[in-house]
Structure 1
Amino acid sequence: MDGASVSVRGLGKRYGAVRAVEGVDIEVRPGEFLSLLGPSGSGKTTLLMMIAGFEVPTEGSIRIGDRDVTYVAPNWRNIGMVFQRYALFPHMTVADNVAFPLRMRKVAKAEIARRVADALALVQLQDCGKRLPSELSGGQQQRVAVARALVFEPPVLLMDEPLGALDKKLREQMQIEIKRLQQRLGVTVIYVTHDQEEALTMSDRIAVMRNGSLEQIGSPTELYDSPATPFVADFVGKTNFLEAVCHSCNGTGLEFGLGQSGFIYLKECPPALATPPEPGEKMRLAVRPEAIRMVPPGDSDNRPLNGVVEAVIFVGSFRTYLVRLTGGELLHVQASTDHGMSPPREGDRVGLNIPSQAVQIFRKRRQ
């Protein structure tokens, strides 16, 4: 099957005085896997429901391929849909559940049998056609829902938190299965999730939403390495924020003061910042836990920030250290045991070296 493009222009939805979605513009490419990522109440599911046709937009337009479907009924949009609650018919067999969309389209019986067999083989359930949904595991039920959504070969597949009911291990397995299936078929997928790890794992691009608006859209790498706002930096991955004051900005770099905790030095202004900060300007610095390197305290060569380890959290292949700086800031530091020094313990004094290229700078919003 061939995926279709999806174009959302100026899309908005109001419920009385409440704006659930406001002025969203997204262009989804044919065959792309796009995730709508955001916390509860960010508008991502409302946006998906408008694309599906279950919600009518207050403003804006929706195109699937070359068709304007803004006010077209859901059953005439020719799109597949998978929900968190799989909505399988409990009294029907697996094969009958998968066949349902084809029967509604009055496809010939022989063709239904062929397509159902192909769809079940696609999700590796070819031996389960005669079972009832209650006789399947959660992961198998989820695959039946995917087979049902794909059996009529839609150009677009919409998925609303489809893995939310699964345990962590099964969820991770299904993420890989769904992504492989999407790549094999070439179908366009728009996928709603609040789980940033899931979005990073599966997506070609991610649209981060907040309070009904689009905060940033880009590849997982772009969002992780170059977040456009503090919200994106905080929501996509883990991030430390530091309140800082610009002390100097010249040809040799930038210097930021952290009060009693010391200074952070940057070789150049990050390209995401439109204009360099001025001396005395208050800024927010963001740095990922894995970018911080622990060194002996007081290391004059690296000019580290000094602090005390308050907690050590073992997470398998690495440890997370909670380090309290001299000025009171608490930083999360992620490190393996192979970092040139014996693993620190609670109460140990350590130095923290922050590479210049690992720091993102954001202007503080005026109140």
Structure 2
Amino acid sequence: MEPSRADPEALLAAAEREARGKLRIFLGAAPGVGKTYAMLSAARAARAGGLDVVAGLVETHGRAETAALLEGLDLLPRKGIAYRGRLVQEFDLEAALARRPALLLVDEYAHSNVEGSRHPKRWQDVQDLLTAGIDVWTTLNIQHVESLNDVVQRITGVRVRETVPDTALQKADEIILVDLPSDELIKRLADGKVYVEDTAARAVQSFFKPSNLTALRELALRRVAARVDSDLLERMQGSAIEGPWAAGERLLACVGPDMAAERVVREAKRLADLMDARWFAVTVERPGHVMPTRERARLDAGMRLAESLGAETRALVADDMPRELLRFARFENVTQIIIGKASRRWPSGWLRRTLSDALVRASDGVAVHVVTAETPPRGADWRARVPPPGPWAGYLTAA
């Protein structure tokens, strides 16, 4: 038997990473679990071992024990940027690139930079540092991961505005889970070690409920477990280690111009991560159809989100939309389809059927998931399945 050969793509990916700096993310389920403390403790140990470590930007949030860990570390001065009549202190990317330490600490990966910075987001600053060959350690809470945005809102009732695209998380060379039991975190909050005293009670009542924290911990644990599986697979491919390479699951997200578009994309991404599956984001347009400006903007936004989350995107053209979707699904060996629910019905010939009805009837073994555009009520069970679909509302581009 001919010996197995290493996967060329896996080897190329490994070679590209060697030229870049290494990214380590300290991931937590919520603020206050100790991410920054863990990062600084590890950085002090690295410095004691002779590594050139610089604190590019570290937020202590007034915690004395965290601030104490900065003693003895080289600190990079912050950059003052004038914004709306005041001077905002931000991370100095240019100074960090000029200093070029072996390891740079850059807290709060999801931070939004003030207008006038080189990049709108701190994770983009980090990408520049990595490209320059500088190793970076940073911190992140699970609620800031883009594909989990809807789930976090369902769990906590809070919409998180600052997010990091999943691709920026996937580029990490190492993810360290910083975990803390929910009761201990709430005690830290009550002791004023997470937020200042006058906001602690309000925070407990909203975000920091035991049930919320338990669900967020589960999300963080699942994300790290999925990363471990991915790392193992890449190592096996790069080393030509044989295994049961089954075809596995493949997902297809039907992205349309309606309000459900982004939610469909995020649901598909979550399922793909849980199943370690390849996934596609697809639109279908009828030949000659001209879409209203608002619908086109929603469609484009959905497809941009899908691409940023790692989907393979396709734009199809066909008169018979269900048939074309299923043709594509079978060609790509898709096992599950995710579509959105809206309110209008099909054009002539399909008045009494929804898109999901048409797909289910002809799917021949392909699972069809339906998600809605509506925001679930606060406190709703985040694991609950969405209700059965109603009439279809211009779900795909052809509507």
Do these two structures clear the TM 0.5 threshold for a shared fold by scoring above it? no
Larger Rg: 1
Greater per-residue strand proportion: 1
Query: Could you say which TM-score interval applies, normalised by the shorter chain?
Result: 0.3 to 0.5
Give the structure-2-normalised TM-score.
0.32
